Amino acid sequence: MRQMTWMAAVLTAAALAACGGGGGDGDGGDDGTGLVPAPPALGATLAADATTLRPLVPGAVWQYSGTNASGDSYENTVSHASASPGVTETGTNTFDTGAGSVHVVSVNGSILQPDPEDVDGDGVADVSNLVELRSPVRVNDQVVAFDERIPNLVPDVDGDGRAEFFDLAIYSRVIGAEDVALEGLPTQSAVRVDHVVVGRVVLSKDGTKLPSVSSTQSIWYAADLGIVRRRLDAPSDDGLSREVTDERLTGWSGLPD
């Protein structure tokens, strides 16, 4: 139970932090952990310029209404402030987890979150140049952010007196165009991107790989409007069920007409 609680916390935190890839190659070997599926064939182009799906506008504000894993309603307001470069994006209660912010910049038609991520919690950045969207935005485009076997991360499970390994993979995939129904607003045609975090414990005693667990953050982007829906599907602490949090756009201001 304690191990599952730890895994659920790690995967959910990584899913909230990560938005796609920048490349990772480490202890997992040339083939990584094996947790990242082979990318399917690229499909139709949904947007030639990714920046049209993610306007970065200082002073712009988006309001969202959501339902958390317990079925309770909550509100979230996201705003942009000037930064150099790009913007600082602040949410008051994204996924009902409280306030948070991230630095977002636009580079050559791709949206980057350049602040490095410390995946394994050792104080050293493991992933840099995270890509949230990249041009052209195409169906099935898959980008890997992190795919490594991390040593000494899991407390001893098999009783051999040594910490266990942890396989961790973070990747994103463009799913396609979907309609998003919004309460009190017109239905929006949006591009869905899934950001997936998968992990599993590998026993140090004999290399046995325990069952993998995953979290998925799905984001829907509408042209010239930005994020119109977010959904987080994460494991419960006991591993017996899933916890789903979903929020949708209810209003906005400060965007160009």
The 3-state DSSP composition of the chain as helix, strand, coil percent (nearest 5) reads 10, 50, 40
Per-residue pLDDT for the chain (257 aa), expressed as one digit of tens each?
344 555 566 666 666 655 533 333 333 334 689 999 999 999 999 999 999 999 999 999 999 999 999 999 999 999 999 998 899 999 999 999 999 888 899 888 888 876 766 666 677 776 666 789 999 999 999 999 889 888 887 777 777 778 888 898 989 999 999 999 999 999 999 999 999 989 888 888 888 888 888 999 999 999 999 999 999 998 887 767 899 999 999 999 999 98
* Residue 88 pLDDT: 93
Half-sphere exposure of 201 (CA within 13 A, CB side): 20
Q: How many domains does the chain have?
A: 1
Reduce the DSSP state of residue 29 to 3 states and report it. coil
* Residue 127 pLDDT: 67
Here the tokens at position 247 are 């929020």
Spatial strand order in the sheet of 87-91:
130-133, 110-113, 100-107, 87-91, 73-82, 61-67, 242-253, 226-235, 213-222, 185-202, 164-182, 142-154
**Prior bond of 186 cis (ω within 30°):** no
Here the tokens at position 170 are 């973070």
Q: What residue numbers bound the domain in which 119 lies?
A: 2-253
* Residue 204 pLDDT: 84
- What CATH number is attached to the domain comprising 238? 2.40.360
* Residue 129 pLDDT: 63
